[in-house]
Structure 1
């Protein structure tokens, strides 16, 4: 068997073991708070419901001692950590005592010791490819071990993987297996379309105006150019006083726009980079959630605003929750705009720590700590920074701690941000985790200045 098969075998065996010991018992489920974590929660809750297993669900940004203490005070019979836990296995083991614990994760483990935990992780099975599987993907194979009928939940793992930025015009082996299950179950529809974001949620005029991923000559960032573009094609962008969206267009109009964009791009770019895979949810609770990329963004917003139940219930198909989730996205985007304005203000005031290797922004208590990672990602993708510049963002949590996020700009490779951050955190105390190109940590507030000096010295 391949290493991928070894992992699937380990995950399904763990699922079988779990369902045998959990029936008639109470389960405490703990997941991360982002799209992948909330997808993990929705997937496992539906799998537990299928087996009539009772449970309580909790969500966390990180697993500190106070939170772990509260988890194990639920006095449950079985504990499941999903998309979280691998980076603090020793701590979980300390609190668990002799309780049965399953850790379903894809992050770098803090130890390879057994610790009497059931730890299912592709890295433990030797699967080391970046983006091979998400946390919700691990949960999917675990759920398949519980009951083969859980193949109907594959779409939730696809949402989680896309939310975790694991799709790059296609998926790698394990994620691709899950996608194929979802396609066969008809819970995901796979197609090819021009690389435009917001097709189901934004007016057509805005989709084309903000088409920075494609950068259409004479159209992108040019409102008048957008209207001229559509007028030349004979496509009406308004109907009865309402702005049209992509789905309002007839198929031949969509095709005409696609062909014209490819023509305008000419030899500048390979068509394969402009025509990308699109993943659709035919049973989405709202139209703007049909495109999985947009759905993942909406779910992430609820997680970042700490409205976890809204995100999970939306993923489970609750239309009322989905309406709230869509509204949460607007609030979330406003918070992001405020954060980016703070960056601009700090740069203008000369208070931004910025050099040719590192950009560090301390937001203090001015933005929700749950969005510092997203802001770091946005800044890292911004073309004002050259490839390889590391972006570090800090924000104060409601418990008087500091949330830290590290990202590397553009498509830089061969970075080990998780190792860099782990080293810095080891000097001041706290918890850290993540991947080579994205890492996060939580430290004590009184250690902030010492931490900043340590990070600066690392670059």
Structure 2
């Protein structure tokens, strides 16, 4: 695949010497980090370009592409060949989603599915491409790792990601997977949404009492972070969480990779950065997210404020769940939020529900919300078993019309209300 990326980069440079570039990327963390990498790479080339971030690549977006521009899609478009073959533009695609039709003549694409490669996120592909454009772009490798973490691909690293990690100077540690791993332990336990511990989660006093009971105290009046715990303290914490948690998770699930990034001159957990980027996009602040990714001055304070607002929106959405219309069958549950939850938030809520203890493994969570004159659907599979959720949505869209994107366990689509 690396050889193909070299040729892809050569063709791109040749096609864009005298032509304006239109870049289109997805609005999730992987798409935003991808767009940030491409933005910086094109600025260094002094290429003329514009950037658009989209929730989903709909037919209307493709029909309105500027004539005469070279188009670069990042983290999307592998499922849009039926639309792309109708336009006259030269199209370049860096994407990792499944391909379901023949590649048109006007399209050059790099997709791991074509090379039987390890799973690589859009940001990973954007970085490999940028590195071929200019070796100076190795300083953007940290964004490829954040994008990987955002797409939940950080559990094991193949050959390509191992090299990207070396380029990035990001520190990799094994540890308890509660995050952010750089924050005081009592606060992590209090605010954790991954693991529910009765009388601890959501309680400041409960989290302190929980730590005191296992013999973990403060140092200079402050609790250690996860990455500061010694082996004995880590073992105590794992045992205590395993005994008290209510989500039926395995002890092994508590240990995993932690990626530590030097971000705005501070050591940060990549998962926390990913969550903050995602919050910007969900609240329509993708430009701010890109500035944040590139560590532009003054962007962090704004993102901190957006992230706080985003978390408040999640709480409001979760509080609305009991009053929403639901249809539940043996293998699926449909949750119709209508206009009570924003369409940009419905995917986050579907993910939270799928990771909760409420539904059994293998059940499909299908959540819907209004998106102006369309309905946004976000589908998640509970656990690691179950059918391909993207194929399930595809079978529906073939009947009602619309666009589908996503993966085996997480996918989404839009269709008209009428």
In the superposition, the TM-score normalised over structure 1's length comes to 0.82
Match of 1:176 among 137, 144, 162: 162
In structure 2, what is the Cα distance between the partners aligned to 1:208 and 1:267?
A: 15
Q: Which stretch of structure 1 is more off in the superposition, 61-70 or 297-306?
A: 61-70
Match of 1:369 among 329, 332, 343: 343
Measured at CA, do residues 353 and 318 of structure 1 come closer, stay the same or move farther in structure 2, by a change above 3 Å? Answer: same
Instruction: Name the structure 2 match of 1:144.
Output: 131
| Paired residues of 1:102 and 1:119 also in contact (CA < 8 A) | yes
| Paired residues of 1:407 and 1:437 also in contact (CA < 8 A) | yes
| Paired residues of 1:23 and 1:52 also in contact (CA < 8 A) | no
In structure 2, what is the Cα distance between the partners aligned to 1:263 and 1:338?
A: 33
Verify: 1:405 aligned to 2:378, yes or no.
Answer: yes
Instruction: Name the structure 2 match of 1:355.
Output: 329
| Paired residues of 1:394 and 1:402 also in contact (CA < 8 A) | yes
Instruction: Name the structure 1 match of 2:356.
Output: 382
Per the TM alignment, residue 49 of structure 1 is displaced from its structure 2 partner at its CA by: 1.5
Higher helix share: 1
Per the TM alignment, residue 421 of structure 1 is displaced from its structure 2 partner at its CA by: 0.7
Superimposed CA distance per residue, residues 107-166 of structure 1 (whole angstroms, 9 cap, x where no aligned partner): 112312333211111112233x6xx11011111121122122322211111111110111
In structure 2, what is the Cα distance between the partners aligned to 1:385 and 1:320?
A: 42
In structure 2, what is the Cα distance between the partners aligned to 1:304 and 1:76?
A: 31
Instruction: Name the structure 2 match of 1:12.
Output: 6
Verify: 1:104 aligned to 2:94, yes or no.
Answer: yes
Instruction: Name the structure 2 match of 1:328.
Output: 306
Q: Which stretch of structure 1 is more off in the superposition, 270-279 or 212-221?
A: 212-221
| Paired residues of 2:96 and 2:122 also in contact (CA < 8 A) | yes
In structure 2, what is the Cα distance between the partners aligned to 1:285 and 1:442?
A: 37
Instruction: Name the structure 2 match of 1:226.
Output: 207
Per the TM alignment, residue 215 of structure 1 is displaced from its structure 2 partner at its CA by: 6.7
Superimposed CA distance per residue, residues 26-54 of structure 1 (whole angstroms, 9 cap, x where no aligned partner): 21110000000000100011111121112
Verify: 1:54 aligned to 2:65, yes or no.
Answer: no
Measured at CA, do residues 25 and 379 of structure 1 come closer, stay the same or move farther in structure 2, by a change above 3 Å? Answer: same
Measured at CA, do residues 165 and 258 of structure 1 come closer, stay the same or move farther in structure 2, by a change above 3 Å? Answer: same
Measured at CA, do residues 270 and 105 of structure 1 come closer, stay the same or move farther in structure 2, by a change above 3 Å? Answer: closer
Instruction: Name the structure 2 match of 1:425.
Output: 397
Per the TM alignment, residue 258 of structure 1 is displaced from its structure 2 partner at its CA by: 2.2
Measured at CA, do residues 286 and 370 of structure 1 come closer, stay the same or move farther in structure 2, by a change above 3 Å? Answer: farther
Measured at CA, do residues 264 and 62 of structure 1 come closer, stay the same or move farther in structure 2, by a change above 3 Å? Answer: closer
Verify: 1:276 aligned to 2:270, yes or no.
Answer: no
Verify: 1:343 aligned to 2:321, yes or no.
Answer: yes
Per the TM alignment, residue 345 of structure 1 is displaced from its structure 2 partner at its CA by: 2.1
Per the TM alignment, residue 189 of structure 1 is displaced from its structure 2 partner at its CA by: 1.5
Measured at CA, do residues 109 and 262 of structure 1 come closer, stay the same or move farther in structure 2, by a change above 3 Å? Answer: closer
| Paired residues of 2:182 and 2:269 also in contact (CA < 8 A) | yes
In structure 2, what is the Cα distance between the partners aligned to 1:339 and 1:60?
A: 23
| Paired residues of 1:196 and 1:211 also in contact (CA < 8 A) | yes
Instruction: Name the structure 2 match of 1:314.
Output: 292
Verify: 1:299 aligned to 2:277, yes or no.
Answer: yes
In structure 2, what is the Cα distance between the partners aligned to 1:265 and 1:66?
A: 49
Verify: 1:117 aligned to 2:107, yes or no.
Answer: yes
Per the TM alignment, residue 352 of structure 1 is displaced from its structure 2 partner at its CA by: 1.5
In structure 2, what is the Cα distance between the partners aligned to 1:117 and 1:18?
A: 11
In structure 2, what is the Cα distance between the partners aligned to 1:104 and 1:234?
A: 47
Q: Secondary structure at the match of 1:206?
A: helix
Measured at CA, do residues 302 and 25 of structure 1 come closer, stay the same or move farther in structure 2, by a change above 3 Å? Answer: same
Q: Secondary structure at the match of 1:370?
A: coil
| Paired residues of 2:192 and 2:201 also in contact (CA < 8 A) | yes
Superimposed CA distance per residue, residues 338-369 of structure 1 (whole angstroms, 9 cap, x where no aligned partner): 222222223xxxx3112221111111122221
In the superposition, the TM-score normalised over structure 2's length comes to 0.89
In structure 2, what is the Cα distance between the partners aligned to 1:376 and 1:173?
A: 32
Q: Secondary structure at the match of 1:87?
A: coil
How do 1:174-213 residues align onto structure 2 when only pairs under 5 Å count? 174-182=160-168, 186=169, 188-200=170-182, 204-210=185-191, 213=194
In structure 1, what is the Cα distance between the partners aligned to 2:223 and 2:219?
A: 8
Q: Secondary structure at the match of 1:155?
A: helix
Extract unaligned runs of 5+ from structure 1.
1-6, 447-459
Verify: 1:81 aligned to 2:73, yes or no.
Answer: yes
Extract unaligned runs of 5+ from structure 2.
none
Aligned length: 413
Measured at CA, do residues 285 and 108 of structure 1 come closer, stay the same or move farther in structure 2, by a change above 3 Å? Answer: same
Cα-Cα RMSD: 2.8
| Paired residues of 2:19 and 2:69 also in contact (CA < 8 A) | yes
Per the TM alignment, residue 199 of structure 1 is displaced from its structure 2 partner at its CA by: 3.6
